[in-house]
């Protein structure tokens, strides 16, 4: 599943990079929790919670049904 998550994140990454940020995959647990680290401008952005929930989590859940939730680390 980690490879699927990496491919999905590659689709999201250009939008984050356009604003000076990025996302790194930290871990994918066996129970479907994806742990990511927001870096660059995303790390300190007040909208990072929205980016995580609406942008990253929604996309991953849509593309990979096994994903249960996404957490920032």
pLDDT digits 0-9 by tens, 5-21: 999 999 999 999 999 99
**Domain range summary for the chain, segments of one domain joined by +:** 2-72
Check residue 9 and give its pLDDT: 97
pLDDT tens column, 18-65: 999 999 999 999 999 999 999 999 988 899 999 999 999 999 999 999
Please, which contacts does 41-50 make with residues 24 or more away whose CB atoms are closer than 8 Å?
A: 42/16, 45/21, 48/72
Query: Which value, in Å, is the radius of gyration of the alpha carbons in the chain?
Result: 11
Check residue 44 and give its pLDDT: 86
Burial of 46 (0-12, 13-18, 19+ CB in 10 A): exposed
Q: What CATH topology corresponds to 2-72?
A: GMP Synthetase; Chain A, domain 3 (3.30.300)
Check residue 71 and give its pLDDT: 95
Q: Which residue has the tokens 């999905």?
A: 8
């Amino acid at each position: 599943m980690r490879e699927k998550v990496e491919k999905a994140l590659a689709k999201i990454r250009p939008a984050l990079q356009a604003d000076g940020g990025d996302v790194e995959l930290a871990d994918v647990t066996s129970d479907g929790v994806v742990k990511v680290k927001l870096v660059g401008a995303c790390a300190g952005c007040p909208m990072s919670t929205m980016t995580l929930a609406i942008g990253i989590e929604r996309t991953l859940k849509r593309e990979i049904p096994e994903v249960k939730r996404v957490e920032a680390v």
